[in-house]
């Protein structure tokens, strides 16, 4: 392994993040605060409690997941798409590095950025609601796994995308709706039975449910199933990336 190269890519990508630090931090903090004001305060005052938890606190895990998934995906997809777009990909292809090292560098950086933002939202949340974390280690594990797996997905999207529209397409058309319909802002037990069944086909439900369990100790679906879902998703992304590596798909002619 060429760890110097991995560190180089990682540092280079993180530098881009810190260069636009205001953008990187202010926007998630601002939008989260707005969510708390609108959902937590305005709507929450009518909903009162969900499963014995104040509504404001109940939406925190979902809000974090929403940001973390979109940030991990868009950071990783942009990270690898940009060199393709401006042509600097030639350097990655002609350097004595393999695809795995490239993936670790880009995905690692994207996951780190998403993790930063997740933590910032969590900290912001403490200012708005009373929050206790029942299983901190599991919480962190869920958070990290989500960052990594969605960064892997983003990496695939970035390799696949041929233009900026395609780059935005999947996050916009797939991830955001799945997250909104994945129980970020409600417990799926609040839905009519038929919708409860349909919802179970949404993979994001398992992530949010598991993540919420790590906060409150209660979940929509069994925690084991949540872990299985995210592990399965991570493995699927890794397998796809392995295939890209083997075939040179969209990278080497």
Residues that bind other proteins (CB under 8 A): 2, 4-5, 7-9, 11-12, 15-16, 19, 86-88, 90-98, 248, 252-253
Nearer to other proteins, 11 or 180 (CB): 11
Q: Exposed (0-12), middle (13-18) or buried (19+): which is 239, by Cβ within 10 Å?
A: exposed
User: Using CA atoms, how far apart are residues 186 and 16, in angstroms rounded to an integer?
Assistant: 36
Nearer to other proteins, 102 or 188 (CB): 102
Phi first, then psi: give them for residue 2, nearest 5 degrees.
Answer: -95, 80
User: Using CA atoms, how far apart are residues 151 and 76, in angstroms rounded to an integer?
Assistant: 5
CB of 165 to other proteins, least distance (A): 21
Q: What residues contact residue 27 under an 8 Å CB cut-off, 6+ apart?
A: none
Tokens of 185: 């802002």
CB of 168 to other proteins, least distance (A): 21
Nearer to other proteins, 94 or 137 (CB): 94
CB of 74 to other proteins, least distance (A): 18
CB of 86 to other proteins, least distance (A): 6
Nearer to other proteins, 90 or 127 (CB): 90
Distances (CA, A) of 92 to 1, 84, 86, 98, 106: 15, 10, 13, 9, 12
CB of 96 to other proteins, least distance (A): 4
Tokens of 224: 């084991």
Nearer to other proteins, 83 or 203 (CB): 83
């Amino acid at each position: 392994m060429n760890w110097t190269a991995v560190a180089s890519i990682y540092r280079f990508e993180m530098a881009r993040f810190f260069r636009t630090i205001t953008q990187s931090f202010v926007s998630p903090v601002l939008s989260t605060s707005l969510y708390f004001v609108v959902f937590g305060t305005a709507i929450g005052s009518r909903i009162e409690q969900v499963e014995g938890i104040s509504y404001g606190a109940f939406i925190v895990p979902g809000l974090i997941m929403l940001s973390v998934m979109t940030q991990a995906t868009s950071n990783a997809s942009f990270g690898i798409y940009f060199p393709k777009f401006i042509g600097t990909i030639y350097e990655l292809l002609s350097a004595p590095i393999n695809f795995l090292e490239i993936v670790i560098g880009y995905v690692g950086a994207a996951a780190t950025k998403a993790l930063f933002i997740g933590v910032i939202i969590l900290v912001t949340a403490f200012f708005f609601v009373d929050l206790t974390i029942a299983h901190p280690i599991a919480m962190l594990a869920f958070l990290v796994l989500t960052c990594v797996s969605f960064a892997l997905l983003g990496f695939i999207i970035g390799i696949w995308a041929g233009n900026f529209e395609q780059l935005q397409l999947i996050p916009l058309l797939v991830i955001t709706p799945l997250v909104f319909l994945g129980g970020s802002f409600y417990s799926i037990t609040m839905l009519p039975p038929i919708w409860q069944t349909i919802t179970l086909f949404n993979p994001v439900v398992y992530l949010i449910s598991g993540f919420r369990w790590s906060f409150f100790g209660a979940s929509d679906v069994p925690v084991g199933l949540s872990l299985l879902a995210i592990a399965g998703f991570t493995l699927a992304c890794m397998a796809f990336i392995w295939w890209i590596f083997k075939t040179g798909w969209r990278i080497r002619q």
